[in-house]
């Protein structure tokens, strides 16, 4: 089963939840992984099975990055907050860099995420 990583900064969590609810049917066909808080919100509100890692600021982005480096992640949806400084910015940059190194589709905003999810729907 292919794996999709879901990550959202605090001011993007509502947007992530809407995206997940709108695409619940597609997402339920994948192994889902997430950083801690994003995953908790999705589990509680969308009732999807999701493996959670540490919270982003505590190393969760790096944990997911290591999964990307091991070719264990097939898509990353990372709704970043471009208007707020993050204490763990280097970890965020590293995760996105690894997606590029390994040519993994990565969406950093909801519009791109919708296009990627549409492409999965078309394949199914």
Ligand X SMILES: O=C(CO)COP(=O)(O)O
**Choices 50-58, 65-73, 99-107, 115-123; region in contact with ligand X by CB under 6 A:** 50-58
Q: Is 75 in the site for ligand X (CB under 6 A)?
A: no
Catalytic residue check, 31:
no
Query: Any binding-site annotation on 72?
Result: no
Query: From residue 87, how far is each of 5, 75, 78, 97, 117 by CA, in Å?
Result: 21, 24, 16, 18, 29
Query: Any binding-site annotation on 55?
Result: yes
Q: Is 60 in the site for ligand X (CB under 6 A)?
A: yes
Binding residues for substrate: 9, 13, 55-56, 88
The residues assigned a catalytic role are 61
Q: Interface residues with ligand X (CB under 6 A)?
A: 7, 9, 35-38, 55-57, 60-61, 88, 92
């Amino acid at each position: 089963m292919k794996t999709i990583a879901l990550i959202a900064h605090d001011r993007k969590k509502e947007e992530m939840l809407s995206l997940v609810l709108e695409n619940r049917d597609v997402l339920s066909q994948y192994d889902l992984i997430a950083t801690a808080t994003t995953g908790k919100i999705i589990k509680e509100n969308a009732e999807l099975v999701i493996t959670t890692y540490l919270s982003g600021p505590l190393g969760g982005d790096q944990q997911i990055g290591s999964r990307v480096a091991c070719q264990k992640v097939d898509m990353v949806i990372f709704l970043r907050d471009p208007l707020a400084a993050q204490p763990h910015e280097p970890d965020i940059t590293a995760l996105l860099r690894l997606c590029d190194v390994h040519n993994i589709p990565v969406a950093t905003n909801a519009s791109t995420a919708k296009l990627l999810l549409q492409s999965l729907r078309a394949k199914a």
